[in-house]
Amino acid sequence: MSVTPPPVRRWAALPMFVLAVALVAVAGSLSSASTGSQYIALAKPTFAPSPWLFGPVWTILYCLIAVAGWLAWSARGWTPALSVYTAQLLLNAAWMPLFFTADQYGLAFADICLLWLLIVANVVLFWPLHRAAALLLLPYLLWVTYAAALNLAIWQLN
């Protein structure tokens, strides 16, 4: 059974959570760095956002994700909830290469559906550990819901 880390160790771990999430963001950015024109050229549904919106939204979401993971860890140390957290980060990192680099819109949709399920599981598992951690994941869940609908529509249109 995990125990709550001491206060000094808790704060020292925050940069590690930020770094882990930043690595996910960098992996996604590198796989989509030269795909702006590719995204613009895709047939998209009417509800597709302007490409400039993705950067600011994901920056905010990645900050929330890092703090949520850190809060959950701070509450009880490493628990199964953090294993789910790690798995959802890996699925998050895999989506952009599938969608943009490999043009595998169907596989990307399968990935984002699994990601959505793991985010829901994370919210449920974080709730008893730290309610704020669970709540911080809700904007991420909403955006991934929207992104999944967008992914599905682009897959159908292209």
Please report, for residues 2, 37, 70, 82, the alpha-carbon distance to residue 17 in angstroms, rounded to integers and kept in the order given: 18, 32, 6, 11
Q: What is the pLDDT of residues 21-72, one digit of tens each?
A: 999 988 877 776 666 677 888 999 999 998 889 889 999 999 999 999 999 9
Q: In angstroms, rounded to a whole number, what is the distance separating the alpha carbons of residues 49 and 13?
A: 35
Retrieve residue 115's tokens: 């990601």
pLDDT at 2 over 60: no
Q: What is the pLDDT of residue 33?
A: 63
pLDDT at position 108 is 97
- Tell me if 105 sits within 8 A of 39, measured CB to CB: no
Q: Tell me the C-alpha to C-alpha distance, in Å, between residue 50 and each of 11, 43, 45, 61.
A: 37, 13, 12, 17
pLDDT at 37: 75
Is the model more confident about 18 or about 37?
Answer: 18
Beta carbons of 105 and 147 less than 8 angstroms apart:
no
Taking residues 66-79, report their average pLDDT.
94
pLDDT recorded at residue 60 = 96
pLDDT digits (tens, 9 = 90+) for 99-142: 988 899 999 999 999 999 999 999 999 999 999 999 999 999 99
CB 118 within 8 A of CB 88: yes
Phi-psi region of 37 (alpha: psi -120 to 50; beta: other; left: phi over 0): alpha
Residue linked to tokens 């967008």: 150
